[in-house]
Structure 1
């Protein structure tokens, strides 16, 4: 419900015109002159009005006629006025007056702002820079922290209840040195913690897409409930749409309860992983793991802004709204060097995830910058070498252990007297231990697999080189020196091809692969894709499924060594997302167990489990609550990333 005026100001002549023309048909109040309707909501209609006693314009909210006689709604309306009247903060719309029992209409009088709601602002600026969205949320954090200190939970924080007044919205307003005003309004469904009001009866109030899980389920709410709503608003500022969406309110509520939404950085890579993690903390489904308060969220936002060189968030807001397109261009130009510098510092400290996050965001802001692409490729190559070195160290330690064991067994055999039934020398039996001096068998070593949702690139050099185990264990004769043959000048071009065949291996097999913005048909036994040598952007996702976490990054195609014709193999394994399991139709306190996947749960308590693949099918044990009852066995199928309902088997 907007408390905003649509014009730039009014003179006495205009007010007279409104009273004689536009004001006809509007409700009549004894103390205020209504000028025009500004908007209406589910509870009341808002008017621009004039207070003749103080000679100022105000906003008047008049309750709807069909609700006027409802005692509960009337009590809630008065509670709104009393709750909001406690608050004095530059980020909260001030309450001036409330109707008395003698007034014919039931109304609330508040300060009038000229401008727009944040909802309209977001509709017009869906691609605002992440730091501008963070600056908006920072203003709301301060306002909510003040309200919470007064014992008031808003319970309905959303863009429609945030008013934004730009300098150009004010009469004769100028952008020179002026600030953007952002205020939170409509505490109409706030729960007053220091009194038993009508909102504490357990009734669910609020907007589904912005409600926290504990609100939907009728649980206890506190400051973290408003933090969740701030997280929803923050997400929309960063990405341009809500995190929880559906075709109807029931679908939206279900998604909020399940806590499943696409990460902000996946929806819009320019947001970056660091902002995405801050938003995820506010959107935590578990209230205990959620960002504790608006102040805590504000501290995280301020720290990240300071790291990026944004010292005055309010000044950034004014600069952006004065020239959105120009600001976005200038902001990206100054932000990319800072991101690259922080990524380099993180790489030197060994903070590979942090460095990758900053590099990836810098690349999203400057996609044609080849220098960033090279740095990302170098970072990934360094990570792969480190993983390989760790594997090689384990192999070396295992080899030493095998060698020591072999030496001990051989010495024991040599020192012990031969038995009557011992086999003759040179004809060992199958069960004999290896003799001293016999080289131990090379220990097989798996190729280093990438962490979940991270790419693994098999470098071309590995195809011609011996395995790490062979290099460390198998004795190799010292090579003789032979003068290298003189190659003809034309051979150099043949040894460095511009294109190389690549074979992708992706888990799960139904994933979609997009290279450099073009979808690639990768599936098939040894399906070959010719790619240019160098770095390529890659996005991998599973269409029409919530099983896996999508991946976006860079892949490096390396030139093969001379004489190597085999294709480069690139392996990806997407991270499998947790599944929710609910037992249906079971007696109270009944238990179920799926030993193969380590899942144990009870009736009425949803459980989460992470599967090893997109689907799992197996047998589970269902135990009734009574000790004398016989456990049942049933077949169960689960889908990764989804909410799965398991039915109690019929006995």
Structure 2
């Protein structure tokens, strides 16, 4: 670190942010542009381990992406932490948003809001996949929620670059050592949505079907992005927990039938 609280002679470090995806995250001010950025500190193995080369590859790939739901990558700096050890510092945009993991924190979200988050994250992932990349480590720390309710995706490729061990949001094939694929990202999305909604998912509803389709054990059996998007759009509609309109229609018809029978019985009784 080139000065007290200054990274790379350019970024003035400010307060620590409420995120712990890959290491401490600080808010900082760019001395050159005056913009506020977020800086993630990533520990470097004693032997280097090729971390910087992997990070540079991921930063270049992420830097080419242009999507409102993807947090932009701006810079990568190698510097020394206050303890003298080398660190890699990833500089990204700093949206006004909180990680999903902090928002949920034991209190599940409604099915409607969960589906809306899933819809936004899926749109971002589709852009990543269309560019030939994958996220490679989607979890609730990587999903940021803005005050307007929209969701953004951050930390693209960091799990892969840092050789992070697969966690509970990694699909079966990744835990078995297989490489990253778009289908693996979709499984992680389904796991994140299940975490967000908790036990509040209506069995057989569109959100339940979307999550089940996304988290199928075999990649080839997972729901395709178009199918997932349609279900999430339906579940995100205003209404009773994003209720399935088809199921609701049958319920309404059944109730109407019972009412009709009751009215006919009353008329017959009145004319006796």
TM-score by length of 1: 0.35
Q: What's the counterpart of residue 287 of structure 1?
A: 219
Say yes or no: does 1:132 pair with 2:64: no
Q: What's the counterpart of residue 155 of structure 2?
A: 186
Q: What's the counterpart of residue 213 of structure 1?
A: 172
Change (3 A) 1:210 1:137: same
Structure having the larger proportion of residues in helix: 2
* Equivalent residue for 1:273, pick from 181, 195, 204: 204
Q: Where does the alignment leave 5 or more consecutive residues of structure 2 unmatched?
A: 80-85, 259-272
What are the equivalent positions in structure 2 for 1:240-639 lying under 5 Å apart? 240=198, 267-268=199-200, 271-274=202-205, 275-293=207-225, 295-302=226-233, 304-305=234-235, 310=237, 331-332=239-240, 340-344=248-252
Change (3 A) 1:343 1:68: farther
Say yes or no: does 1:108 pair with 2:77: no
Question: In 1, Cα distance between the equivalents of 2:175 and 2:87?
Answer: 33
Change (3 A) 1:27 1:53: closer
Q: Secondary structure at the match of 1:34?
A: strand
Q: Is contact 2:111–2:235 with CA below 8 Å preserved after alignment? A: no
* Equivalent residue for 1:232, pick from 187, 191, 205: 191
Q: Where does the alignment leave 5 or more consecutive residues of structure 1 unmatched?
A: 1-23, 167-178, 192-197, 241-266, 311-315, 317-330, 348-370, 376-651
Deviations 1:342-377 (A, max 9, x none): 4356x7xxxxxxxxxxxxxxxxxxxxxxx69x97xx
Q: Is contact 1:91–1:183 with CA below 8 Å preserved after alignment? A: yes
Change (3 A) 1:134 1:334: closer
CA RMSD, Structure 1 to Structure 2 (Å): 3.5
Question: In 2, Cα distance between the equivalents of 1:42 and 1:333?
Answer: 30
Change (3 A) 1:182 1:206: farther
Change (3 A) 1:335 1:45: closer
Shift of 1:41: 4.5
Q: What's the counterpart of residue 45 of structure 1?
A: 24
Question: In 2, Cα distance between the equivalents of 1:334 and 1:148?
Answer: 28
Between structure 1 and structure 2, the one with the greater Rg is: 1
Q: Is contact 2:22–2:40 with CA below 8 Å preserved after alignment? A: no
Q: What's the counterpart of residue 63 of structure 1?
A: 42
Question: In 2, Cα distance between the equivalents of 1:69 and 1:43?
Answer: 19
Change (3 A) 1:235 1:140: same
Change (3 A) 1:151 1:35: same
Q: What's the counterpart of residue 138 of structure 2?
A: 157
Question: In 2, Cα distance between the equivalents of 1:336 and 1:288?
Answer: 26
Shift of 1:52: 2.0
Deviations 1:476-499 (A, max 9, x none): xxxxxxxxxxxxxxxxxxxxxxxx
Question: In 1, Cα distance between the equivalents of 2:20 and 2:175?
Answer: 21
* Equivalent residue for 2:55, pick from 38, 57, 77: 77
Q: Secondary structure at the match of 1:224?
A: helix
Shift of 1:47: 1.3
Q: Is contact 1:156–1:206 with CA below 8 Å preserved after alignment? A: no
Change (3 A) 1:124 1:30: same
TM-score by length of 2: 0.77
Change (3 A) 1:39 1:68: farther
Q: Is contact 2:235–2:242 with CA below 8 Å preserved after alignment? A: no
Q: Is contact 1:152–1:190 with CA below 8 Å preserved after alignment? A: no
Q: What's the counterpart of residue 83 of structure 2?
A: none
Structure having the larger proportion of residues in strand: 1
Count matched residues.
251
